[in-house]
Structure 1
């Protein structure tokens, strides 16, 4: 898992290195500028080795602008014609940025908010205006807004590169501050990616993200740092395993005509390695389900007392409650599973198990325990946590803006359980403050997951890992990563039934 540092955490990391004497701020700025130039030429090798190309470098009033001055100097040394514009007063630049301003031997033209530079003829536009330091919407002015919003699919358009973050985008949340943000083809950032690169509007505005090592100590996953999920962790069963040593998962099903979601979840749990999986089925659906399953076992579960009887079997190690369950049955079955009459077990609460408590979320939160994983999509999250959803929906003119990381962490603390907030930028948070992002963006895009039943399979993946003894937070992180990876393996045309059966190939590739 790779750290995602907020703007404040990144400033603290830089300052700690400077204070220790390990590096100077000027050296960090030089490394950053060199990293940007290298990333540009790696991304577009056709730009290397040809002199006379024109670049527009837009520098801002802080250290991001200082990075821009370094980029301008290094490109000019390679024969580029540089048009450098400064937004702000050069006399008020911070020390290191001012030093690089003074090292620049070319012209520095002021850029006024109302000005709209003619972008024709440029091979490259570098946005070094605000970076991670933006705390308010971009300056007003039609020219400024037009320039930032400018996008043309014509072959002659310049490549647009943002240093750290596209201007107008909040580094901590990925949300547009105010009315406009630049859309870049490449965002070059330093030390670690930032939450804003993978959350909300970030992927649409960054194009691609390249992280440059500038020599800071490796960021540890200390308290308060979110992580970007980069793999599923260790999933191997081991050579001496038998079915009960890897858990027995129980998935509750809906009634007649509503059993498909539970069957998808159950197959996901079995494929991810649970030793056994049982479907708890009401009598009305027993024949329907029996005709559809082979490796899965069946038990009749009509109501709460029936579930309590089934849970008397201590070998049942995890539950999945909600997919296709029905809003009429969900409250009783959730209460039975979480009540004092049965041994507490890890469980996934999904779909109807969440919606059934949308008008009384505190009732649900009083029952759940730290072994639970709640998996709401946006609508379910809004019903359970309406105040947090409202904050996410509000336009933000100042930063740092309220983020999905903030929302998921607060939700997990309130519920006392792991919360997995679904989306292309899925966020997983635990009550103890751990937080991770599963980003289905850039080279991990998986738009095919927008298909009926995909969320039921995810619930099954997590349940299977819980049955095997995974920590709830780790199970949610691994399940979310594998969910995207299986979808990517299939590609267009995916339906939910494909996901569990793609998992063996994904796991083989990970092992090999």
Structure 2
């Protein structure tokens, strides 16, 4: 996948705008449908060459038109093809009707389908544009296909998945492979849609890139090509203070491990110096575990302010294992807008005091990075978490604007958003990254990149990507401790992401 198709995402509405713009520019829309259907047929023959019967399911719109073209192409190649339609094909209009009229294969109602061994199903029912609940007739077909355990090749997006939100609308096919056109949609990356798409193939059907890119919004897939120029590039004049001094706040004596994980991750990710700021009762246990990471006793707000006044500190991490309550709020507000990663207990501490936090970081430049998981997001942004109409991307962008902060909404489909509306969906994190302490590690990596002087959005995006790469290197069964050992600093000429560029 080339860099443009790798990062570009179009919502269904943006893709429809690109189709319309292509038609206005004089491009034959029926030719686009022909190329799309031919690409689907080619994928079916390549992926499922031993298929005894290709079952093509066609819907009432242009996705169905792609299916009729694919069915005709498969039949022309000598394959056994049977066609099943949802709704009355005689009601088709435009290019879809022309594709139906050109297809020599008679169609039957989808309710007449009985999947059997040796089938391969081509799902051309709805695609990415579905905005309503899947009809009962199709739900029964989805259930029968799943029960038969036959492969499904989805056209654009498995039918039943919302292309904007990535959620099933009552039911959805589980595809082994998806062929989409020009660009992926958010529903291909957001969970659970991503898990239902199988392998995703992006096919260029001939819409000029100037049109596609002109219709794209501010959402993309997270990738080094988008932020690598912001990364530090060490040279012979580099020294530890140029690479930044990261401070990580520790909890009490029985809750020190999370802060040490963040600190170790920050050091591994390229911070020049890292100091754990520890209350007095936790000094002995922290000193017994730290070597390259420095240690400073910071008991209360007064001692923190004295430290801030005299030390060269570049960025901060507060929250992992810190404890929920007034002390966390005082420390955060006492930093007076300095670059801060607020995680875990730090987020929860502002559940009933969020306006104080948002006001403290209301400067034009975002300096606060919030890293909530689902529960923490709901505590800080309950009005956003509870709405089902917004996608995860839309919720994260709204939260970032409300908080004047970069928000990293964690999960298998982590979304990074800035107050200006930019948003990235991360996709390189393996499933085994979901383990205790991995969030503490991520907070430290973000802190290290902030300490290096990266803007908050780029620091968060790069850190999330690096976090996923480290997990892939560590392999299944990783722990937070082993994850830290696989972190590699990112540089503009670094080998961490060289294989992807």
Normalised to the residue count of structure 2, the TM-score between the two structures is 0.91
- Is the CA contact (8 Å cut-off) linking 1:59 and 1:127 kept in structure 2? yes
Number of equivalenced pairs: 481
2:247 to 250, 260, 274: 250
Alpha-carbon distance change, 284 to 195 in structure 1, aligned in 2, over 3 angstroms: same
> Is 1:145 matched up with 2:136?
no
Question: Deviation of residue 109 (structure 1)?
Answer: 2.2
1:510 to 494, 497, 500: 497
- Is the CA contact (8 Å cut-off) linking 2:15 and 2:215 kept in structure 1? no
Question: Deviation of residue 509 (structure 1)?
Answer: 4.1
- Is the CA contact (8 Å cut-off) linking 1:174 and 1:198 kept in structure 2? yes
Q: Which residue does the alignment assign to 2:339?
A: 346
- Is the CA contact (8 Å cut-off) linking 2:232 and 2:452 kept in structure 1? no
Q: Which residue does the alignment assign to 1:335?
A: 333
Where does 1:181-260 land on structure 2 (aligned, <5 Å)?
Answer: 181-218=172-209, 219-220=212-213, 224-231=217-224, 233-234=228-229, 235-240=231-236, 241-260=238-257
> Is 1:409 matched up with 2:389?
no
- Is the CA contact (8 Å cut-off) linking 2:429 and 2:467 kept in structure 1? no
- Is the CA contact (8 Å cut-off) linking 2:164 and 2:185 kept in structure 1? yes
Unaligned residue ranges in structure 1 (runs of 5+):
339-343, 393-400
Range with bigger deviation, 287-296 or 34-43: 34-43
Helix, strand or coil: the match of 2:252? coil
2:156 to 156, 164, 170: 164
Unaligned residue ranges in structure 2 (runs of 5+):
1-5
Helix, strand or coil: the match of 2:387? helix
Normalised to the residue count of structure 1, the TM-score between the two structures is 0.89
Q: Which residue does the alignment assign to 1:458?
A: 442
- Is the CA contact (8 Å cut-off) linking 1:57 and 1:68 kept in structure 2? yes
Cα deviation, 1:457-509, whole Å, max 9, x if unaligned, reads 00000000000011111111111111111111111220001122102399644
1:474 to 446, 458, 474: 458
Q: Which residue does the alignment assign to 1:32?
A: 36
Cα deviation, 1:306-355, whole Å, max 9, x if unaligned, reads 111111146211111111111143122112113xxxxx421101111101
The CA distance in 2 between the partners of 1:5 and 1:308, in whole Å, is: 47
> Is 1:85 matched up with 2:89?
no
> Is 1:130 matched up with 2:126?
yes
- Is the CA contact (8 Å cut-off) linking 1:39 and 1:210 kept in structure 2? no
Cα deviation, 1:231-290, whole Å, max 9, x if unaligned, reads 372545322211111111111111112111111111111111111111111111112111
- Is the CA contact (8 Å cut-off) linking 2:146 and 2:174 kept in structure 1? no
Q: CA RMSD in A?
A: 2.0
Q: Which residue does the alignment assign to 2:101?
A: 102
The CA distance in 2 between the partners of 1:479 and 1:505, in whole Å, is: 10
- Is the CA contact (8 Å cut-off) linking 1:3 and 1:221 kept in structure 2? no
1:176 to 168, 175, 179: 168
> Is 1:358 matched up with 2:375?
no
- Is the CA contact (8 Å cut-off) linking 2:9 and 2:216 kept in structure 1? no
The CA distance in 1 between the partners of 2:28 and 2:311, in whole Å, is: 60
